[in-house]
Amino acid sequence: NQKGGVAKTTTTVNLAAALSEQGEKVLCIDLDPQANLTMSLGCQMPDELSYTIADIIDQAIAENPIDLMPSSIQLSGYETVLINEYGRENMLRQYVDAARPFYDHILIDCQPSLNILTINALIAADSVLIPTQPQFFSAKGLELLFQTYSKVQRKMNPDLKVEGVLVTMMDRRPNFTRGVVDLIRSTYGGSVKVFDSEIPMSIRAIECGAEGKSILAHDPKGKVAEAYRNLASEVIDNAQREKCRAYQHTAVR
Ligand code: ADP
Ligand code: MG
């Protein structure tokens, strides 16, 4: 989602934590120079790291898989570094493809703009998970988002799927937010998956970003943790179904 503050980073952290809790092996890649994901996962001084995703892009090769591929401000210069590079859209893909066999899920947290880094993510990815807030303008923004998605799919990554639209920060004003969520479900539900799980608004979610912890660690019995666990189950089901489909496809062929 090109909008900031819709819980992209929060969702990356907590979906990763919930998947991991369910026994899945997860790699998180922070592709935002602001390094919020890196900080949310406990690394408070990203600019002092000696090795980040920027170095990976430099080398465009991977040696040892690790569980967090952090970001730092160093990455902010990569738009200009990449712009002159041959195959610049595929730099991240090389790394992700090398890391793929070691993980059940690889989550890439993007920044809220469609630049060369985000394009790298969309080319490296199998699918996009789109967090959105239950507000009228966010719902309208989805239209633009799907246009961008179709363009990327058509021109750069024909295999790119929509994992699902995730409604985040649901509050308890039923006739206001519920109406928007119903609109999202009726408009898009037929063509893409809109996750059954909806993430409630909670002050506990805001607290844990600064703590460098997931909400599953900070407030394990809370409703946000529960919602992210449900989301993780839906993502695992999706992956299973996708695997079956791919298997049947090869079997038929
Ligand atoms: P993005 O990565 O899309 O910019 P963030 O994940 O950084 O968005 O979230 C933006 C802000 O919203 C953060 O301050 C975060 O703590 C807060 N937030 C995220 N999820 C929730 C939630 N379920 N309830 C309340 N606040 C939330
Ligand atoms: Mg973010």
Contacts of 174 (CB under 8 A, 6+ apart): none
Answer whether residue 67 shows pLDDT above 70: no
The amino acid at residue 124 is A
Task: With cut-offs at 50, 70 and 90, classify the pLDDT of residue 60.
Answer: low
Helix, strand and coil percent figures for the chain, each rounded to 5: 55, 15, 30
CA torsion, ordered 126, 132, 137, 139, to nearest 10 deg = 60
pTM, two decimals, is 0.89
Asked whether the predicted pLDDT for residue 202 surpasses 90, the reply is yes
Which of 73-82, 121-130, 153-162 is predicted least confidently? 73-82
Q: How far apart are CA 66 and CA 125, in angstroms?
A: 18
Which ligand has the shortest distance to the CA of 11? 1
Query: Which residue among 28, 113, 167, 206 is best mutated to probe the pocket of ligand 1, counting the most ligand atoms within 8 A of its Cβ?
Result: 206
- Among the atoms of ligand 1, which is closest to the Cα of residue 109? 2
Q: Smallest Cα–Cα separation from 165: which of 122, 123, 133?
A: 133
pLDDT at 61 exceeding the cut of 80: no
Among protein residues, the one with the nearest Cα to ligand 1's atom 10 is 5
Among protein residues, the one with the nearest Cα to ligand 1's atom 20 is 7
Ligand nearest to the CA of 204: 1
Q: How far is the CA of 247 from the centre of ligand 2 (A)?
A: 35
**Do residues 184 and 193 touch, judged by C-beta distance below 8 A?**
no
- Give residue 162 CA to ligand 1 midpoint distance, Å: 21
Neighbouring CB atoms inside 10 A of 156's CB total: 13
DSSP letter assigned to residue 160: -
In ligand 1, which atom is closest to the CA atom of 208? 16
- Residue listed under structure tokens 């989602």: 1
- Would you say residue 153 has pLDDT above 80? yes
pLDDT at 171: 84
Q: Compute the distance from residue 234 Cα to the ligand 1 centre, in Å.
A: 21
Residues 6+ apart with CB under 8 A from 28: 12, 13, 16, 37, 41, 67, 68, 69, 106, 107, 109
The C-alpha atoms of residue 172 and residue 112 are separated, in whole angstroms, by 27
- The string of pLDDT tens digits covering residues 211-252 is 888 999 999 999 999 999 999 999 999 999 988 888 887 776
Residue 157: pLDDT band by 50, 70, 90 thresholds?
very high
Distance CA 246, CA 242 (A): 6
